Chain A
Amino acid sequence: MHPATSPAVAAQPARDHRTSRRHRTLRALAAAAVALPLVLGAAACGNDSTSGPSPQSTEPVELTIMWWGGDARAKLTENALQLYTQAHPNVTFKKVWQANQGYFDKLATVITGGDAPDIFQIDDNFLTEYAERGATLDLSSYKDSGKLDLSKFPESLWKYGVVDGKLAGVAFGENTQGLVYNKSLLQKNNLTEPTIGMSWEAFISWAENVSKVTKVPGTMDPSADYKAFWVWLRQQGKDLYKGKEPGFTEADVAAWFSLWKGARERGATPTPDVIHEGNSSDITKQLVVTGKAATSWVWVNQMPELKKNTKDELGVISYPGNPNAQWGRASMYLSVFKNSAKKDVAVDVINFLANNVDAGKALGTDRGLPSNLDVRQAVADTVTDPAMKLSIQVETELAAKFGQSPQVPPKGHSTMRSELVKAAENVQFNRATPEKAAADFLAVVKSALAK
């Protein structure tokens, strides 16, 4: 029998059948491909907070802890965490640390990626940002119940960690601005050291003299440094922030830039390209340790790390001007990630690190003076590292002179810092007048704070 349908026609429905089947499969694949991330996203959304294992349980727990710092800090931190593991053998730590440069980029990325550390170090530059976005756990309930003991902390210190009424982080170390100078260089050339309370003008003259005699520029130019600007403002009764607005005017910024323009012209500072190197946040690049200037503008607790990077002896005092413009700042905080599965253990670890005397001795003053005053006393009595001893001594001296703490910087603070560097460098490289740079700077800062 001749087939009713010719082979070609017979093939037709087969072909259409085949194509539509393939089309259907492809369409199904595409639908799945689009649906999958939405499903995963929805699953990731769900944050039901279970507090996880309690500190008293003996099930093995591994906490991830992340901090920034140098080798010295890493060693001290590991020793302190080791002490906790000795007391609670079931708790181990996965330690993640790196330099400050790029730390917050990485922290934000791991938090978004779902791989957030349980405990992370943070500072006042970002605390508001992270707290307002719901990345930090509100520790108020732990403080009230006594699980987190802040009773021995100076009140203004732990209050510096409160954002919008919530305790976003435990102040871990008190520090203040510190002017670090190269003692060996000055002694070699029979020059006097700078003194606490000397005026900015006097300091610049001192630096000019140092440049002339030693051929090493007397001081790094701090016009790009927000903390020097902050102190200078407070000495005039102003402040960096007033609520969500800048606490200074265009004229203030212009005056600040002009002050340092004069210093550069008198030879008190290095050339702009060297200043640019010192503007890095990397502590190993600070001019006082690379030998390109006799003075650097840092935080007092960074002394031991600076000391590790140079053979010269270093001295430290407060920034020029009246030291009551400085304050006991929380150098950094330890915060717990809001959706951590091991909240209770994490808070217990922080409590241990802050209040246990042995842990305090292990951590030393590398992060700043221990927040717990009893621990601070014990550490001061037993510390042997001469750089640490010196930083404790200087800070205790200055503590008597401290003024009132300012508010925690609002969101937009990191933009302010980077814009200040840009504006200052524009003036340093003679690409803008102080007035023009000040005007542009203030405009950008206002819009960043308003967001």
Chain B
Amino acid sequence: MALTTASTPTVQPQDLVRAPAKRRGRGGGPRREGLAGYVFLSPWLLGLLGITAIPMLISLYLSFTDYEVLTPWNEVKWVGLANYERMFADDQSYWHAVQVTVKFALIAVPLKLAAALGVALLLNRERRGVGLFRGLFYLPSLLGGSVALAIVWVNMFNREGAFNGFLNIFGIEGKPWVNDPSWALGTLMVLAIWQFGAPMVIFLAGLKQIPNELYEAAAVDGAGSVRRFWNITLPMLSPVIFFNLVLETINGFQGFTAAFVLSNGTGGPIDSTLMYSLNLYIKGFTEYEMGYAAAMAWVFLLAIALITAVFFGTGRFWVHYGDDR
């Protein structure tokens, strides 16, 4: 009783009158804090606006014009949907590029994920040296879309390259992989698949989260390793698979550097490595048709967004998130 009286401050009538004012004052506190938040955010916000948001809006505007890089700003003409019409109706190279990109993504992405999952399963046990192997497999993906890597790849896979040297050991006559229109895209796919380290590490993390009791219970029930994989590992991993699938698909569609280096910026022997972004680059920077390239970029964005939305939509059926099994 004495304690409570001592702890509660005595409220005077004037306090009650002042209270609303104080509250308004304190109402100003959060507002000031909000402002401080924006001030701290401003470097990132300026970067977002200046380097990403505003250029995107300008490119949206340009996609409706006939802007051709060297055109002075006051001569840029609004052409409405002409660029988009040309893309869908009149441009063979556009559809060819779409075809090449889809082919690339359809083959490289599943194989890359399969490799990542397979190796992750192998490296999931705690044996000696497994950390070293994890690091070694992860290393290539750190190099990302590097030009030096692409150059090395081209040298490895051309007629006198190391890969053919390897085949010669077994007496197989190697092809000029990189300069042959039937195989050039294949070398790019192999390059993409070789960089499976990043999704592998994520799979490893996912695997480690699967509670061991599930496996033990299954073993007790007499499930073989294949059954255990199919009915425990895959469903428990499905969120991670989903994450990797979306990310790698987006990356696969955006492939540019390796195709550019391999084909010297032209799209490879007879357009066989003409990825969508490479075609965009050629149209915009080599042939100076920047308005058209901007239109291509926005269609690309919408297409990838659509594919991602489809993934999210179908994900409801096969992705199991944790406890509500």
Contact = CB atoms under 8 A, between A and B. Distances in A.
Contacts of B72: 45, 47, 133-134
Nearest to A2: B16
Contact of B264 (A2, A272, A282): A282
A59 interface: no
Contact of A273 (B20, B49, B176, B266): B176
A96 interface: no
A102 interface: yes
Contacts of A41: 73
A271 to B, nearest CB: 8
A123 interface: no
Nearest to B74: A45
Interface in A319-376: none
Interface in B1-56: 13, 16-17, 19-20, 23-24, 27-28, 30-31, 34-35, 38, 49, 53-54
B63 to A, nearest CB: 16
A108 B285 CA distance: 7
Q: Which one of A21, A108, A271 has the highest number of Cβ atoms from chain B below 10 Å of its Cβ?
A: A108
A214 interface: no
Contacts of B34: 22
B265 interface: yes
A326 to B, nearest CB: 27
B13 A44 contact: no
Contact of A414 (B16, B57, B287): B287
Q: Which one of A5, A134, A273 has the highest number of Cβ atoms from chain B below 10 Å of its Cβ?
A: A273
B270 A422 contact: yes
B305 interface: no
Contacts of B30: 18
B16 A425 contact: no
Contact of A108 (B16, B19, B31, B70): B70
A362 B97 CA distance: 47
Contacts of B49: 33
B264 A104 contact: no
Interface string A132-163: 01110000000000000000000000000000
Contacts of A22: 31, 34
A3 B27 contact: no
B56 to A, nearest CB: 11
Nearest to A38: B58
Contacts of B74: 45
B225 interface: no
A418 B264 contact: no
Interface string A248-272: 0000000000000000000000011
Contact of A134 (B20, B70, B287): B70
A426 B269 CA distance: 9
A112 B27 CA distance: 49
B309 interface: no
Contacts of B13: 1
Nearest to A42: B73
Given A15-B27, A37-B54, A3 B70 contact: no
Nearest to A15: B27
Contacts of A381: none
B159 interface: yes
Q: Which one of B58, B72, B269, B287 has the highest number of Cβ atoms from chain A below 10 Å of its Cβ?
A: B269
A421 interface: yes
Interface string A9-41: 011001101100110010000000110110001
A101 B265 contact: yes
B288 A129 contact: yes
Given A104-B286, A273-B180, A18 B20 contact: no
A370 to B, nearest CB: 30
A14 B24 contact: yes
Interface residues of B, number: 41
A346 to B, nearest CB: 19
B146 interface: no
Nearest to B269: A276
Contacts of B165: none
B145 interface: no
A18 B27 contact: yes
Contacts of A54: none
A415 interface: yes
A426 B270 contact: yes
B181 interface: yes
A429 interface: yes
Interface in A78-126: 101-102, 104-105, 108-109, 111-112
A130 interface: yes
Contact of B286 (A21, A44, A105, A133): A105
Given A276-B269, A414-B287, 18 more contacts: A1-B13, A1-B16, A3-B17, A5-B20, A11-B27, A14-B24, A33-B53, A34-B57, A45-B72, A47-B72, A105-B265, A105-B286, A108-B69, A135-B70, A271-B176, A273-B180, A425-B181, A429-B270
Q: Considering the complex of A and B, which 9 residue pairs feature the smallest CB-CB distances, nearest first?
A: A273-B179, A14-B27, A273-B176, A133-B70, A10-B20, A105-B285, A276-B179, A18-B31, A108-B69
Interface of B: 13, 16-17, 19-20, 23-24, 27-28, 30-31, 34-35, 38, 49, 53-54, 57-58, 68-74, 159, 176, 179-181, 264-266, 269-271, 285-288
17 contacts: A1-B13, A7-B19, A7-B23, A10-B24, A11-B27, A15-B27, A18-B30, A37-B54, A45-B74, A47-B72, A105-B285, A108-B69, A108-B288, A111-B69, A112-B70, A134-B70, A418-B266
